[in-house]
Structure 1
Amino acid sequence: MLVKIFGSAVFGVEATTITVEVNIDKGIGYHLVGLPDNAIKESSYRISAALKNNGYKLPGKKITINMAPADLRKEGSAYDLTLAIGILTASNQIKSEKIGDYLIMGELSLDGSLQPIKGALPIAIKASEEGFKGFILPKQNAKEAAIVSNLEVFGVENILEVIHFFDKKTALERTIIDTRTEFYKNLDNPEFDFADVKGQESVKRSMEIAAAGGHNIILIGPPGSGKTMLSKRLPSILPPMTLQEALETTKIHSVVGKIKDAGLMGQRPFRAPHHTISDVALVGGGQYPQPGEISLSHNGVLFLDELPEFKRTVLEVMRQPLEDREITISRARFTVTYPSSFMLVASMNPSPSGYFNDPDAPITSSPAEMQRYLGKISGPLLDRIDIHIEVTPVPFEKLSEEHLAEPSKTIRERVTKAREIQSERFVDVENTHYNAQMTVKHIREFCKLNEESKTLLKTAMERLNLSARAYDRILKVSRTIADLDGVQEISTTHISEAIQYRSLDREGWLG
């Protein structure tokens, strides 16, 4: 008997429906075709044990299974449940005509219980688009898939539940999630808050500007000055994610199996890979391409602590994603594209010892050593970082203060207002949503200076020996500062503040 049952494969962040054809005929043998990987080939052992431990069995006949389209590589153990239900139906151990109405996925344990799968959200979106009545999958993934509201999602714990459902012995309980309620519930509860930060007012101000304009930022300072602590709090002042952004972000995290029983992501992601990370782990890839850290930080923050300690090749592969806001991974047979629109936040010590040119420091470094250390970061990468800010240690008087600093919620309100101004400004400009994305053409149009501001900028560039790359960055940042003030015209005050945030462009910064 021939039976068709449906599963799904994920490529990039999109799913493709897989038709599993199970044919049982006279003879003996188990033949699985359609480019399955080793995990799928081993499924026969898991299926056999799971069925036997639940009162069913593999038929002692010739079983031929084709996974169509046959020229598409299938991978992972998530097809166990699909294959098992197909075999039971083809051998008349399940009698149901409704199996084709459902998309079925799940990894089987030997006792018949189900393990979670990866990519449940993109699979559910595809199932809804193709008109499936429902999606049966492990209970751990049910909330994630139930984000798709016009699809019946059934989370199950054991293969017996699925068998009894198709035999009409018991009904399955549908998982229903109110997506909007779930989304807005988590918006105003950040894990880290700027209210906990003592002192560092100038750094907090630069963080606010970076968040308001989507600018990349680098923090330079000695150990213990608070670089990591401040960076972890940046997502708490970024504008709340829109529902569309939340769906995009959840899809990417779903593909790598990082959602599990969490539903829709409400907080912007914060990723902080270690400096020993490889090129592939950062940008994504592998034999079967998976998203890397830059895609997992999509719509959020990528924090690179101790930037000069990262391998040069790792840092250089970030240049294209920072510019194009997506990463394309090419293989001989296919190409996948992952979105990667993130804010880069980097931190570094000014020298190998970690201290400024300070005679009182426990270990000091010469200007030559400091210059060599900073030279590990390439010019083209530094060119994509708009704000450079020096972080100094907090004095005891500030640390011992009792009152709380300004909370993230208050800062976020100012940031959100500035972003709304930018959204209106770029409403007719394709692929540009905030100031950091402006091209040279947009800078000329939206960053016009009066004579007084031009004179100030010219004087500053000559006296501070600012490089040519600093010019556009200063204009972009001053545009954001003006937006935070709610004014249309860029003034000398905005220009002078923006000039302060170009430390690494000053010749002789290290003396």
Structure 2
Amino acid sequence: MTLAIVQSRALSGMQAPEVAVEVHLANGLPSFTIVGLPDTEVKESRERVRAALQVAGFEFPARRITVNLAPADLPKESGRFDLPIALGILAASGQIPAAKLADYEFAGELALSGELRPIRGALAMTWHASRAGRAFVLPRASACEAAWVEKATVHPADSLLAVCAHLNGIATLEVQPPLPFELASPYPDLSDVKGQAGARRALEVAAAGAHHLLMVGPPGTGKSMLAARLAGILPSMTEDEALESAALQSLAAHGASLNWRARPYRSPHHTASAVALVGGGSDPRPGEISLAHHGVLFLDELPEFDRKVLEVLREPLENGQIHISRAARQATYPARFQLVAAMNPCPCGFYGHPSGRCRCTPEQLHRYRGRISGPLLDRIDLAVEVPSLAPQELQAASSGETSAVVRERVEAARERQLARQGKPNAWLGGGELEKSSQAEPEALATLTRASEKLGLSVRGFHRVWRVARTVADLDASANVGRAHVLQAIQLRRALVND
């Protein structure tokens, strides 16, 4: 047989399109050509494959070898095609049975010794391979994260020789068992935060309705502590959410964590670039907003971020995804995250502090707050002040409720939302909100008067309405009442540009 076809996978955003590695042996002067839009890493596989086959004791055909990676218009990158190319050559030259290749998909980078090295995106590829009904053969170091995919058959392999022995029936590759995951929350407990009842309430409302939150207060008042505890009170992840989140981690070469069902928590430094935040590069990779998918993105010292960097958040905050376009590549990544931001009230941080230490001028204050645009602030649902507590108040304050207790209320409120409209309140469109809010006439009248007084935009009006719906869900109320609207307004008043 002079033609063999081996199935593998490429990566394109969150997708892992199928790639047929076609290997043809022909008479003529010995050559080795790879076609099908390969990048430099794929072209270099010629030397890795040649050396690996020879070191493993196989015959490298002294013929004209043509490798086609189909479809030809899909860019191919990385060394994951080394293993399927090597197997295709062996099958085309009759050194392994070609018929057995149809039941498997293969991916793996070859060392010159024939050992298999880990690859990026194993979980995303396995996810799609399992839907095609084929088993996946992967390097052992990548098989662990791939085994998170339910009902997927994953065979870990250490070397090219081990894979060939399996195909020849000499030995059998084991099936990777699913790894146990930790059910305990990896996040600190909310009971560690003393006082700050208003901020704790805002955190609970944000968790219940998937709302974005801004905290404003002097240094050392607990803003970072509160943000770090939000992920711990969010509802448990579903199987699909966990797989999506883990697949994104795998695409970014971070690997899947043993706490893979825990909500992700990302906290980039304020010097992060726009590409680091939203993703990009010549070969587009997911950024921090996608790595925080189904979890929390915490931006501390919000005004210290470059304004151009913050502006790229506007679209994903609204749409829940980011589309990255480059000259030769495009990719779309999900980015349904909860934004939690923290900032000081002024450049020195002590505006309104009881000590009176602030010496910032009105111009400095205006310039500092102006670093955050109005359209970005308009996309934030909740904004609360986190005041400084006197030592006596801090010592007198008792420990608050634990994360587990708050999470119970959050999950109950979220279940009401899913039963009513199939999504959290923060994701509702204007028309959906009107249908599902069940607001009392007095509540709507109060909201209208408040929006006129505060100068809320239409978007701001709807965001207050969504928060009021969440407050009602926490109270187990079928209707949105005036008290719920007033609380929602109070939870937004700290927005500096309202």
TM-score calculated relative to the size of structure 2 = 0.91
Work out whether residues 467 and 505 of structure 1, in 8 Å CA contact, stay in contact via their aligned partners in 2: no
Distance in 2 of aligned mates of 1:359 and 1:413: 36
Deviation per CA, 1:289-335: give whole Å up to 9, x if none. 22222222111111111111222222112111111212223345664
SS of the residue 1:141 aligns to: helix
Give the drift of 1:155.
0.6
Give the drift of 1:397.
4.0
Distance in 1 of aligned mates of 2:324 and 2:299: 22
Give the drift of 1:379.
0.9
Distance change (3 Å), C-alpha of 1:125 and 1:475: closer
Work out whether residues 447 and 475 of structure 1, in 8 Å CA contact, stay in contact via their aligned partners in 2: no
Please show how residues 326-341 of structure 1 align to structure 2 within 5 Å.
326-331=321-326, 335-341=330-336
Distance in 2 of aligned mates of 1:444 and 1:93: 67
1:324 aligns with 2:314: no
1:46 maps to 48
Work out whether residues 16 and 124 of structure 2, in 8 Å CA contact, stay in contact via their aligned partners in 1: yes
1:34 maps to 36
Give the drift of 1:120.
1.7
Distance in 2 of aligned mates of 1:231 and 1:480: 19
1:11 maps to 12
1:216 maps to 212
Distance change (3 Å), C-alpha of 1:274 and 1:447: farther
Work out whether residues 247 and 264 of structure 1, in 8 Å CA contact, stay in contact via their aligned partners in 2: no
1:501 maps to 491
Give the drift of 1:152.
2.5
SS of the residue 2:99 aligns to: coil
Deviation per CA, 1:453-504: give whole Å up to 9, x if none. 5676577668xx5222354433322222121111233344333322322234
2:154 maps to 153
Please show how residues 185-200 of structure 1 align to structure 2 within 5 Å.
185-200=181-196
Deviation per CA, 1:163-217: give whole Å up to 9, x if none. 2212222111111328xxx4xx534423221122222222111100111111110
| Residue of structure 1 aligned with 2:280, choices 285, 306, 318 | 285
1:430 maps to none
One-letter code aligned to 1:9: A
Distance change (3 Å), C-alpha of 1:263 and 1:31: farther
Distance change (3 Å), C-alpha of 1:101 and 1:438: closer
1:173 maps to 174
SS of the residue 1:14 aligns to: coil
1:474 aligns with 2:469: no
2:247 maps to 251
1:355 aligns with 2:350: yes
SS of the residue 1:3 aligns to: strand
Distance in 1 of aligned mates of 2:434 and 2:74: 49
Work out whether residues 15 and 124 of structure 2, in 8 Å CA contact, stay in contact via their aligned partners in 1: yes
SS of the residue 2:4 aligns to: strand
Please show how residues 85-96 of structure 1 align to structure 2 within 5 Å.
85-95=87-97
1:97 maps to 99
Distance in 1 of aligned mates of 2:300 and 2:479: 36
SS of the residue 1:240 aligns to: coil
- With 140-149 and 440-449 compared, the bigger mean Cα shift is at 440-449
| Residue of structure 2 aligned with 1:231, choices 221, 224, 227 | 227
Distance in 2 of aligned mates of 1:480 and 1:64: 61
Distance in 2 of aligned mates of 1:306 and 1:226: 13
Distance in 2 of aligned mates of 1:9 and 1:438: 35
Deviation per CA, 1:22-43: give whole Å up to 9, x if none. 2233422221111111011111
Distance in 2 of aligned mates of 1:277 and 1:420: 36
One-letter code aligned to 2:292: S
Give the drift of 1:417.
0.8
Work out whether residues 246 and 265 of structure 1, in 8 Å CA contact, stay in contact via their aligned partners in 2: yes
One-letter code aligned to 1:221: G
Please show how residues 56-455 of structure 1 align to structure 2 within 5 Å.
56=58, 58-95=60-97, 97-132=99-134, 134-177=135-178, 182=180, 185-260=181-256, 262=257, 265-331=260-326, 335-358=330-353, 360=355, 364-397=359-392, 399-400=394-395, 404-427=399-422, 433-445=423-435, 446=437, 448-451=439-442, 453=443
Distance change (3 Å), C-alpha of 1:243 and 1:151: closer
Distance in 2 of aligned mates of 1:454 and 1:128: 50
Distance change (3 Å), C-alpha of 1:177 and 1:169: same
SS of the residue 1:78 aligns to: helix
Give the aligned length: 493
Work out whether residues 449 and 489 of structure 1, in 8 Å CA contact, stay in contact via their aligned partners in 2: yes
1:20 maps to 21
Work out whether residues 54 and 112 of structure 1, in 8 Å CA contact, stay in contact via their aligned partners in 2: yes
- 5+ unaligned residues in a row in structure 2: which ranges? none
* CA RMSD, Structure 1 to Structure 2 (Å): 2.6
Work out whether residues 385 and 494 of structure 2, in 8 Å CA contact, stay in contact via their aligned partners in 1: no
Work out whether residues 4 and 98 of structure 2, in 8 Å CA contact, stay in contact via their aligned partners in 1: no
SS of the residue 2:10 aligns to: strand
Work out whether residues 228 and 347 of structure 1, in 8 Å CA contact, stay in contact via their aligned partners in 2: yes
TM-score calculated relative to the size of structure 1 = 0.88
Work out whether residues 283 and 329 of structure 2, in 8 Å CA contact, stay in contact via their aligned partners in 1: no
One-letter code aligned to 2:464: I
Give the drift of 1:264.
8.1
Give the drift of 1:65.
1.4
Distance in 1 of aligned mates of 2:354 and 2:193: 28
- With 139-148 and 195-204 compared, the bigger mean Cα shift is at 139-148
One-letter code aligned to 2:73: D
Give the drift of 1:396.
2.9
Give the drift of 1:112.
2.4
One-letter code aligned to 2:160: I
Give the drift of 1:72.
1.7
One-letter code aligned to 2:216: I
Work out whether residues 467 and 506 of structure 1, in 8 Å CA contact, stay in contact via their aligned partners in 2: no
One-letter code aligned to 1:42: E
- With 311-320 and 52-61 compared, the bigger mean Cα shift is at 52-61
One-letter code aligned to 1:214: A
Distance in 2 of aligned mates of 1:460 and 1:131: 57
- 5+ unaligned residues in a row in structure 1: which ranges? 428-432
Work out whether residues 282 and 329 of structure 2, in 8 Å CA contact, stay in contact via their aligned partners in 1: no
SS of the residue 1:503 aligns to: coil
Distance change (3 Å), C-alpha of 1:219 and 1:450: same
1:483 aligns with 2:473: yes
